[in-house]
Structure 1
Amino acid sequence: MHFKKEFDFVKLSKYAYIFSIALTIAGIIALAAFGLNYGVDFQAGSNVDVKLSKTLTKADIEPVLDKIGIAKDATISPGENRMGIRFTKVLTEDQDEQLKAALLKLDGKSSMEVNTVDPEMAKELGRNAIYSVLISCIGIIIYVSIRFEWRFAVAAIIALLHDAFMVVAVFSIFRLEVSLTFIVAVLTIIGYSINDTIVIFDRIRENLRFGKQKTREDLTNLLNHSVNQMLMRSLYTAFTVFIAAFFLFLFGGESIKMFSLAMVIGLIFGAYSSIFIASPLWLFFKHKQKPNRKAVKPSKA
């Protein structure tokens, strides 16, 4: 089977693997050295969201917290008409009341909402987050194995784990906050990425039916042709969803900012992995099934 000259994604995948391995190593080092910057959802403490009618700075709030005796446990994040105060310890009811009264003195129209997570709940949320990702991966393995074959399933799962880890690595390297919305974003990315990968795999499977692949070169040409056929569809889909997530990040509320950022990062890696990670991995496994062999010449009588 021969195809006209197209983008050689198999050749380009070698550079993609180098890039992914380098970023994976950087992510592992960052995770080992710094860990993740867990939000209050996964770390015991209190998170205070303050709605203001005028602008207040850290310098305005710090003396108030110091007077109550909770300044050393606080991280203040000022914003426009809003302020977030994160405490590494759970505030008592008395401290809640004192803080609310002090904020009303600074801004009579302010309102305060306190979200508290105790240590046991934080551990349970962390475990459930890991279980949810693992269960989704197992479900994907079963689905792809039934619909296609195990080689497609293994390649798809490696690509999905790659996408999820890339998002985790970026958040670890840049010390971005990890909360429950981050887990929702990772699960959404997994769903998007597998959809994009399945579309390419479906085209590969269709093209496999229309010819006999006798050599590695035949399989390589078939994969390149299949990806080239679906390239614009994948790019258009990724770009459309990317634009929506990007503008959510720019103009959305503070509560969905990290969700939107994780989506933006994950969408880029999801489109990238479907083309440069999952498809070449399938080819690698398929090569093992169909070793390269030269045509046998007929023997002379």
Structure 2
Amino acid sequence: MNFKTTVHFDFIKHSKKFFMASIILTVLGVISLFLFNLNYGVDFKAGTNMDIAVGKALTQAEAKEVLATAGVTNVTPTVGGTNGDRVSARFEEVLEQTKVTEIQNAFKAKFGDQVSAEVNVVSPDMARELGFKTIYAVIIASIAIMIYVMIRFEWRFALAANIAILYDAFVVVAVFSIFRLEVDLPFIAAVLTTIGYSINDKIVIFDRIRENLRFGKLKTRDQLADMVNQSLWQTMARNIYTVLAVLVIAVCLFLFGSESIKLFALAKIIGLTSGAYSSICIASPLWLLLKSKQKPKAKQPAKTAV
């Protein structure tokens, strides 16, 4: 079988640069998490979130003024919605029902009886439980993916894929930590779906590598490197089209979606971009690194006729 194709760029030749860039970003993420942690939303810390629909467009200054009349001065509200008629206010403490009613009455006094509010309260125990369940979800997903790849391929593919998808998940976390973006439940959903899309790209490439490896007579590392490059370019169009199809949707959600979904869309954009990068620049070169260290099988001595 001839697996030769046009190689426009030698990814394997520059793999050390990709590894170094990825390590630098990982170190920056670790430092940011150590110094600043994540900017947890109400979903992961005790507090109250109020989404108030006032029925007409308003400005952030007006929203702050109304909150001030209710005795709230330490909260910065966010104005959103299709017509700019919704106010989102996040409180770091669990509000008493009397305070919630006071805030609602303040908005009704300003904008009329058409004002409605949705109130979400997270207790400290619930916030702690959500945090632990999130960690368990990522760990279980990673282990399940590694087992699946080991069954379908081999342990080198599984190890390379798992390192790459954990890197993708960490990139999303690191960017949100560095830029102090809020982490909530939709963010976790974005991280988990990032892992799913990321492993899909890697499976496509690994499947082609395995096929070319099976039918090619490859003995040296240079031959293996050439085969990996060929495999990457053979699957490049499919991977690009798959990622772009989802990326366009994520970008549209980020640009035209409501405020409540923008950070979810942003996390998806970061995760999809990182997944496409890691499939080509991390997972495949990492598999080659592991494969090239494999000791050749000892030749069986020829049987002599008796």
For 1:2 and 1:253, how far apart are their aligned partners in 2? 47
Q: TM-score, normalised by structure 2?
A: 0.90
Deviation at 1:288, TM superposition (A): 0.6
Do the aligned partners of 1:158 and 1:278 also contact (CA within 8 Å) in 2?
yes
CA displacement 1:87-134 (0-9 Å, x = unmatched): 000110111111111110111122111110000000000110110010
Judge conservation of contact 1:47–1:114 (CA < 8 Å) in 2.
Answer: yes
Amino acid corresponding to residue 44 of structure 2 in structure 1: F
**After superposition, what is the alpha-carbon deviation per residue over 1:254-295, rounded to whole angstroms, capped at 9, x for unaligned?**
22211111111111000000000000000000011047xxxx
2:54–2:107 contact (8 Å) kept in structure 1: no
Q: Distance in 2 between matches of 1:285 and 1:224?
A: 16
Q: Give yes or no for the alignment of 1:140 onto 2:145.
A: yes
1:153-187 deviations in Å (ceiling 9; x for gaps): 00000000110000111111111111100000111
| Identity rate, percent | 56
Amino acid at match of 1:257: K
- Displacement of 1:221: 1.0
CA contact (8 A) 1:58 1:76 kept: yes
Tell me which residue corresponds to 1:298: none
Aligned to 2:90: 86
Residue 63 of structure 1: CA displacement?
Answer: 4.5
Cα 1:238–1:2 shift into 2, 3 Å = closer
Question: 1:4 and 1:91 mapped to 2: Cα distance?
Answer: 64
2:120 aligns with 115
Candidates 230, 234, 249, aligned match of 1:225: 230
- Show the 5 A alignment for 1:63-212: 63-72=65-74, 74-79=75-80, 80-108=84-112, 109-212=114-217
User: Is the CA contact 1:75–1:87 (under 8 Å) kept in the aligned structure 2?
Assistant: no
Residue in structure 1 matched with residue 22 of structure 2 by the alignment = 20
Runs of 4+ aligned residues of structure 1 deviating over 6 Å after TM superposition are none
- TM-score relative to the length of structure 1: 0.92
Gaps of 5+ in 1: 292-301
Q: Do 1:215 and 1:290's aligned partners in 2 also have CA atoms closer than 8 Å?
A: no
Match in the other structure for 1:36 = 38
Secondary structure of 2:78's counterpart equals strand
Q: Which amino acid aligns with 1:254?
A: E
Separation (CA, whole Å) in 1 of partners of 2:25 and 2:141: 24
Runs of 5+ in structure 2 lacking a partner? 297-306
Cα displacement (A) at 1:251 = 1.2
CA distance in 2 between counterparts of 1:5 and 1:160 reads 28
Q: Cα 1:78–1:224, aligned 2, differ >3 Å: closer, same or farther?
A: same
